[in-house]
A and B are shown apart, each in its own frame.
Chain A
Amino acid sequence: MREMLAHLFTPRGSNNYKAKALQLSSLSSFLLLIIVGQLLITVVGRAVPGVLGIASSISAADLVNLTNAKRAELGLPTLSVNQALANAASLKASDMMAKNYWSHTSPDGTTPWYFFGASGYSYLYAGENLARDFMDSGSVVSAWMNSPTHKANIVSPRYHDIGIAVVSGNFMGQETTLVVQMFGTPASAQVAQVAVAEVAAEETATPIASVGAEPTEEIATPEQVTVALIDQPRVAGLYDRFPFLNSFQLTRAMSLSLTLLLLALIVIDAVVITRKKITRLSGKSLAHFIFLGILLLILLFVKQGLIL
């Protein structure tokens, strides 16, 4: 047993002075193992819905509060929660779940602006931020604020209203939480502004929509609207339990284990080779160490969650 471990993990005569686990045959086996592992996760996720996924604590109310806090930091007026916008966000989230797509535009070409109309929100300005696979509300808003185009929507002075839908369900093979954040300024705001200011009405009447574009002009502050948020615990309905395997954490654990193993082997290999003054044909241990070290750092710092 001891001999076998030494053969596997230390450079010696039996393995031609290179640990068996660092030889090409083992590296290709590790590569195959990673690929097969990922295939298994995908197959299990699709064959048994509800097994893979995340259980998040995201709430629409928290998202609104955090969004308004970011605006307040910049001296911008807070956004009013609008029932029609919340309905539009809910329609969009349900559409994404039903058609299984992750995009601002659906596979059949439906744009986000369709949902504004469908919920009866006639807009002068409109914007949409999307997020999925996050664990909590703070992470969602942080990710948006770190993206210039999403941040532009959050801190745009031209938006007056906000509507958010937080929908959980089986999406693309795993249980997850989708967040749709919609911003808008009603078309009536322009009319009100013109009437009050008696400005010659040469401003554009064409609604301006943004999925991360630059804001263009400011509009008068809108009236406060009754709070309307949508938190839908589960869309699928069939799977009322929480998922017990997080595919991201599983992949990260597998990858971290392999990377740490290889790093340890390379250090052992370098120490033994240097001490015994063995000359052999091989790659540079320090280069391998740097490469795997960077890989390890990425795996330690990478976070779950996508925004669009």
Chain B
Amino acid sequence: MIALDWYLALSAILFTIGVIGVLTRKNAIVIFMCAELMLNAVNLSLVSFSAHLGDVHGQILVFFSLCVAAAEAAVGLAIIIAIFRNNLSVDITRINLLRW
């Protein structure tokens, strides 16, 4: 049997890959995908806690987090479309009107 810490470690690794992706990538869509990866990693933690505690509440929290991810995806992609219409680019280094 795989113990809880393996699942948590996997979740931590995926979360970190997401964090590094958000911080290093320049393409707004990819940055957003990395943020989705972070949410996924957290969901994995929640499900593994839920399974080891023998408690359904963690799984319900994942259900809500899925809803939030879907809502964020809808709004986020709409914002990315709007910014693409303005700049003809989704590269965040080319979109830097506002600084300091």
- Whether chains A and B associate is no
